[in-house]
Amino acid sequence: MVYRAEWDHSENGFRLTHPDEPPPQVPPLLQEWWRFRRYGLPPNGGGMRDQPAGWFERGELLARSYSVWEAWLASDQGPDWRREHADIMPLIKWLRELVYG
């Protein structure tokens, strides 16, 4: 998901840092979540209880992580931006540790 956000933000920048990798695919859960948010139709017919366990929570977390990472890439990543967006910095730190170690 982080690599896909990087690709969507700067395709050429992604190719510079990952020269031999193909374009990352959008995770299927994120595609389902976007369709759900756009059309209001969850992946399985029926209501909320007919969806896979935890589907709403995982989809929301994945979409939030994608949008937070896009905001991080679009910013100057400086101390002023970090102070203004203190609410999302814990998630950004967690994603950076998860992906880049």
Which strand (E) or helix (H) includes residue 23? none
Structure tokens at 48: 């909320």
Tokens 């814990």, residue located? 90
CB 14 within 8 A of CB 3: yes
Structure confidence by residue, pLDDT tens digits, 43-100: 887 777 888 888 999 999 999 999 999 999 999 999 999 999 999 999 999 998 988 8
Q: What is the pLDDT of residues 17-27, one digit of tens each?
A: 888 889 899 99
pTM: 0.81
